[in-house]
Chain A
């Protein structure tokens, strides 16, 4: 076989079995190797592409590791201040009720500094989708304790392990949001195994279908790893996620 195969030779009519979604740019992902963000980005963009609504979508990037999501998601995007993405999304969606508006936020952004914006967007039943990446840590700023950090879990601001008596318990914000009538769908997914990726993608599809049908707010939590912040290899961090994160944050639909 020749070493100089051109893409045209590989991709002949009828031989194409997989193509990267056009709604992802060709920019190199800024995420650490092994991080779940890349998969979460891709399945979100794949859903928009499969629904044929990429050119009607407006995404909101948070502050955190995914602050540069707009470099990778090849659609119209706004970058929001820390925690304010649901308010920004509200401002857009109220004026463009037929466009597809979503936020993509981490646990520090959504469940700590942005709790107020999250609760009230959910309570108003804003017809948006929230993709919520929960990796139990502040990754971007260097591995500080998040509201979702597990009891006893070490971080740079809980170097001896999170003291639940002093700092409270890992917050299950998706369960909290599920109690609000404005939320039509609340689910917790993961992306560290192929089967789970497929399930997570289905959940994201359902969330955007809900938006299309004007059912209210859908929140899709994705429990993810942070191998750099957790100071583990990618493989080890996924094992640790299974053993430690999932018992506290069990996967599955919470509402809807």
Chain B
């Protein structure tokens, strides 16, 4: 039976991690996501499911603990916020290169540098475009509610193990800190070694005879083989692009203008639609749920029926580049957003839309 609770986004994520039957969480405190590890420590999941929760010596330590656990075929989670994610990029690149599944959460704050502890969406580039070294992709889920902070844990692990690829939940300080009602799923049991092998294949390093041994590595000194490895990764990424694009459309029937926004910015834009209606401006909203794979095809199709597209982000304009690539010049694409920890209001979004396309 589903359970209804009032929770912060960070807490809902943490509770969902336990209920997903996750084997281990490794993290390091940083605002505005410290509630994740605080909640887990308080809940003592080792008593509920045997789950390991460990406060690492740094974000770097935490992500490499995830690497070890993931390489042993276990469900491992870490979470952090922007400067901490920058530190994790080394390990994220290794996870992607070694094709290890895991779920990570970034509760984004404003930057660059130490920046601010207030919400931001300025980590789109470092999440969607790489961040770490080499040609790799993360599957990126963008929650727009506390409910999705919880739901994306299960979705994330399904995708992570299906494709043997790290998954990032790209949230922000607003979704992480705000309280909403959330339906929690029932507790799943943690998988045994046999169940993991049966479900996902026999690739984990858990100790084997020499003839059956497994190796987890991203190293290939022979360039011809490293190129082949990259081709294999790219083939996998094309498959993900084909199968896993997720988005939500709101009021898009007969819309004259389209907003593209994800996460908390998408929540704000829902109100903008309403304000537009009051002024006789018909606005639609496309909310990418997966930022990679990006809903390029859908945005391209929608560009045929609108006069202009506004990418609305809590940044100086990052996702707008992907929107422009998707639209490919069919209609004007503009960016609007407050940044550095400031949050745009629905009115400001409407004003920007009028300013850029109507006046």
Contact = CB atoms under 8 A, between A and B. Distances in A.
A78 B208 contact: no
A90 B206 contact: no
Interface in B39-57: 52, 54, 56-57
Given A56-B207, A91-B76, A77 B215 contact: yes
Contact of A91 (B64, B218, B221): B64
Given A23-B210, A80-B64, A81-B90, A70 B69 contact: no
Contacts of A58: 72, 205-207
Contacts of A60: 68
Contacts of A119: 57
B310 interface: no
Interface residues of B, number: 40
Contacts of B23: 95
B58 interface: yes
A180 to B, nearest CB: 13
A117 B57 contact: yes
Interface residues of A, number: 37
A79 B54 contact: no
Interface string A55-68: 11110110000011
A158 interface: no
A89 B217 CA distance: 14
Contacts of B74: 95
Interface in B122-160: none
Given A23-B210, A75-B210, A78-B67, A90 B216 contact: no
Contacts of B58: 116
Contact of A116 (B57, B72, B91, B213): B57
B26 interface: yes
Contacts of B90: 81, 84
Which 8 residue pairs spanning A and B have beta carbons closest together?
A91-B68, A120-B57, A91-B65, A87-B64, A79-B217, A88-B68, A76-B205, A84-B64
Interface of B: 23-24, 26, 52, 54, 56-58, 60-62, 64-72, 74, 76, 90-91, 94, 98, 205-210, 213-219, 221
